[in-house]
Structure formats: C-alpha cells, structure tokens
Amino acid sequence: MMSTATPSLPFVVCTPAEAAREIATEMLDLVASRARAGRSAVFGLATGRSPLEIYAELVQRVRTTRFALDNVWTFNLDEYLGLPARHPQSFAHYMRERVFGPLGIHRERGILPASDLAPSQVAAHCRAYERAIAEVGGLDLQILGIGRNGHIGFNEPGSTRECRTREVMLDETTRADAAANFGGLERVPTRAITMGVATILEARRIRVLAFGASKSAIVRRTLEDAVGPDVPATYLREHSDVRLYVDAAALGGLSRSGANR
C-alpha cells in the first residue's frame, strides 16, 4: 500500500547570524574531513540575500584562523542567460566579489553556468555542467534560498522532480523581485540556466535559508503543501539530510513544533 504520509522538513528557528555560524562550521568540518580522506569538499552555492551572512562568516574565519578554503570545488545553482560575463548583476560577479576573491578560490574551482552562450551552445553546456559535478564526486553540501514563488535555484513552479540542469524561462515574480537590482523590470533577463531539482536533491546535504516576513507565505507552503511542482521547494521534504533555517518572521504564525531542536 502506498503511504499517504507527507514527509516533513526539519527546521531550525534562529537568526541569520546563528545560521551562518552553524553552516560555516559544518562546511569547514566537511573540508577537514574530506581532506583527511585525500579529497576536496564540493559545495553547491546560491546567490541572493539569504546566504550573504554565511559567506561573510566564511571570509572572516579564513582571515582570522588557519582554515583555508582554496582547495574546494564550488558549483553555483544558476545564472542569468543573455548577460555579458562581467555584468554587475551576473551571479558570476556576485561570487567573484563576495566569495571567490575573498576566499582565494581559483576561477577553475568556482564554477557557474555561463551567462553569455549562443542558443546552440546551451544544451551541451548544461550536460557538461552535470558531468563536471559528477566528476568531482557530487555535491557534499548544497546551500539554498527559496524564491517567493517557491523556486529553488531557478526551478520555477511547474518544474518536475526529475528535471536537471537546463535553460528556463523566468517567472514574472522572479523577474519583479530582481527589478530593483537591475534598475527596471525591462532590464531583467527573461532566461537563465539552473541546476535541476534532481541535481539539487542529489546533494548529500542540503541547508536551506529563509529569513524575513516576505518569506513567511512561501515557508508555510513549503512546509505544508503537497509535495509537487506547484511549489518546487516542497521537493526538499523528500531529502534525507535537509535542514531549513528560518527566523521568527519567516516562520510567521506557524508553530515551532517542527523544529528539530
């Protein structure tokens, strides 16, 4: 008989700074344990506001301790299509400024989908992206934000559980949320490349961040709606090592009883 039980998503209620400290510690522990096994840690990274404190925490620890992060592999979730590689709103620019530069991660080890591909190059690029992740042993830990429409990466509503790295059309909510950064909705790209839902769920650990009242409606749907394409973040509930970090504002009126501590 098929189980009708809805899988739940463990969550922790904390401040962004507390989440950053905990996740940065977990990442540095992974770097150390992978190094003992003679290999590099592989991280899946996100852009946007949610992970900024994690990156700042990592930069501070690398500056003030003997930790080094220059031998990790990182793969970003997504990138806009149709932007020059050096565009200030490209995710490549965000990563160079906030992560790769300050952490000393070499450009060959800090990998993003390309933003300036011709249409004929996109499919092969996406296949190569999947291959590159597999070749270094798969993602040890994926950091994720949640879009207000429930997207993870740029897997917009309608994305299936099986989808992999591919070109997508951006949802109007997603473009509207990016409009201020681009100085107007008409300047926001309409297309992007994103890791797929299946790609994300193959990460061995997933740590998800949602802070602030603007996320409370989608946090509720992520925790309570049926798992499926209407809210792609609900797929995270099928992962065996996932944790959502929320603050009280993002949790809204929900009970804290799902918190795993």
Contacts to ligand GLP by CB under 6 A: 46-50, 77-78, 145, 147, 153-154, 174
Nearest distance in Å: CB 48, ligand GLP? 3
Task: Name residue, tokens 């070109």.
Answer: 167
| C-beta closer to ligand GLP: residue 31 or 193 | 193
Nearest distance in Å: CB 204, ligand GLP? 19
Provide, for the chain, the percentages of residues in helix, strand and coil under a 3-state DSSP scheme, each rounded to the nearest 5.
Answer: 40, 20, 40
Question: From the centroid of its chain, how far is CA 57?
Answer: 17
Nearest distance in Å: CB 41, ligand GLP? 20
b/e sequence 227-253, b meaning 16+ C-beta within 10 Å:
bebebbbbbbbebeebbbbbbeebbee
> Which of 151, 149, 85, 150 has the alpha carbon at shortest distance from 114?
85
DSSP characters over 104-130: T--TTTEE---SS--GGGHHHHHHHHH
| C-beta closer to ligand GLP: residue 50 or 234 | 50
Crossing angle between the packed helical segments 16-36 and 52-64, to the nearest 10 degrees: 60
Nearest distance in Å: CB 52, ligand GLP? 8
Q: 259 and 224 in contact (C-beta within 8 Å)?
A: no
Q: Which residue is nearest to ligand GLP (CB)?
A: 145
| C-beta closer to ligand GLP: residue 39 or 220 | 220
Residues with active-site annotation: 78, 149, 151, 156
| C-beta closer to ligand GLP: residue 140 or 153 | 153
Residue type, 211: F
